[in-house]
Amino acid sequence: MTPSQALRQQCGEIDIYLFDQLARGRLDGRTRILDAGCGAGRNLPFFLAHGFEVHAIDADAQAIAAVERQWPGIDARRGELDRMPWEAGSMDAVIASAVLHFARDEAHFDAMVQELWRVLRPNGLFFARLASSIGIEPWLGGATTGRMRLPDGSARFVVDEAMLLAMTDRLGGTLLDPLKTTNVQNQRAMTTWVMGK
C-alpha cells in the first residue's frame, strides 16, 4: 500500500483544512460532531474510525442514502441547515465544509449560520469553508457579497471579510484562526472560517 493509499484509508477524502484543525488538536475532547451539508460523507471516515459520535445532515436524499449505505446506523438525516432537528447546545463541533455558499440570499445564509450556531454547545468549535470574494474582487464586477456567478462559471453565495467578521461579532464568537483564503487562479476563492463559541 502506498503512503497516499494508507492516508486515504485512514482519513477518507477529508477536507485538508479540516484535517489541519484535527492535527492542531482543535477537535480533541470534542467528540459529538455534526457534519452539516455532509454530501456523501467525505469528511466522516476519520471521525467514525476514531470514536467520535457523528451526526450528519444534507438536503440531498441520495447523499444521505449513500452515507447510510456506507455506515449503517449513523445518525444521518435529510433536512435543511436553516431548521435542524437537534437540540440547542447539543454538538461539540459543527462542520460546514463547502455548503454555506449554496445559500439563496443573505437572509438564507444568516438563517443557516444562526441554526448551526444554535446547536453548538458553549466552548464548541465552528468550522466552515465557503466561497468568498477575498482576493478576487477585481474579477467580480464590483460586488463582494451576495449570490453571483464566479469566474469559474459556478453560481455561489459569496461573502467578504467584513461580512464574516460582522457575523462573528453578532454571534459572540471568537475567531480561533485568522480568516484564511485560497485563491484558485482568480476563478474562485474559498475561505476557512473557524470560531469558538
pLDDT at 19: 93
The mean pLDDT of 89-114, rounded to a whole number, is: 98
Of 104, 132, 162, 106, give the one whose Cα is nearest residue 140.
132
pLDDT surpassing 90 at residue 5: no
The mean pLDDT of 109-128, rounded to a whole number, is: 98
C-alpha 34/C-alpha 138 separation (Å) is 36
Question: What is the phi/psi pair of residue 44, to 5°?
Answer: -85, -35
Neighbours of 114 (CB within 10 A): 14
Q: How far from 60 is each of 36, 41, 66, 141, CA to CA, in Å?
A: 12, 12, 10, 32
Do the Cβ atoms of 146 and 173 come closer than 8 Å?
Answer: no
Q: How far from 161 is each of 63, 93, 122, 135, CA to CA, in Å?
A: 31, 23, 24, 10
pLDDT surpassing 90 at residue 3: no
C-alpha 104/C-alpha 156 separation (Å) is 8
Query: Which residues, including other chains, have CB under 8 Å from residue 66's CB and lie 6 or more apart?
Result: 40, 41
pLDDT at 11: 78
Neighbours of 75 (CB within 10 A): 15
C-alpha 140/C-alpha 142 separation (Å) is 6
pLDDT surpassing 90 at residue 112: yes
Q: How confident is the model at residue 179 (pLDDT cuts 50, 70, 90)?
A: very high
pLDDT surpassing 90 at residue 129: yes
Q: Which three cell numbers stand for residue 59?
A: 438536503
pLDDT at 63: 97
pLDDT at 151: 95
